[in-house]
Amino acid sequence: MNAKQGAALAIVGSLIVIALAASFLSASPAKVTYNAPALAVHASLGETASDGTIALRLNGISDASDPATSSVWIKFNNGSVVYDLSLTPPPASRYLVANVTVTNVHHTKIPFDYGDFVLIARDGTAYYANYAVCNKGCSAQALQNSALNETFASDVYVLFSVPTATQPVQIAYTGANPPIVLSST
């Protein structure tokens, strides 16, 4: 191979790398969706659904800027030893908080992870929980030890960071078997 052929090959290779990089950088990020399995347990807003181990009731979803929501978040977050989170969302985002009553109906200690909550938007996009708060007794079990004792029952406030225009339609708890899907309407 002579110098001209080598230079031409280097130029062609560089152009291919640049074209691939440009297509990668211009591609929009993949939308994550959640499709509940056919056997999922469903309930509407204010109704309780259970997999026989854990029972969940969605009491509502509200914007964290709502004064009632922010006061509850601040009350529980101030006593938290897990983390301290401001309710000021990043630019072009907002925080939605789901108030979910969580009850252990299995009567023995069971695992629990607030990270198993998924907010499902009207367009099908799934957003996984960022944080959760609850009262001191709840926090010690559900948030620090990731387990619920046999008599556990408490409201848990689960925070999701979403784009500003997001309209929530469901909350799913994927840690249940089968998963539990709660409609927000």
Do the Cβ atoms of 174 and 116 come closer than 8 Å? yes
Cβ-in-10-Å burial (0-12, 13-18, 19+) of 110 comes to: middle
Q: What is the pLDDT along the chain (185 residues), one digit of tens a residue?
A: 665 555 444 444 443 444 434 333 334 456 788 888 899 999 999 999 999 999 999 999 999 888 888 888 777 776 554 455 677 888 899 999 999 999 999 989 999 999 999 999 999 999 999 999 888 888 888 888 899 999 999 999 999 999 999 999 999 999 999 999 999 98
User: Residue 43 pairs with which residues in a beta bridge?
Assistant: 182
d(CA 71, CA 166): 22
Q: 177 in helix, strand or coil? A: coil
For the whole prediction, is pTM greater than 0.85? no
What's the sign of the alpha-carbon dihedral 14, 16, 18, 20? negative
Distance of CA 168 to the CA centre of its chain: 12
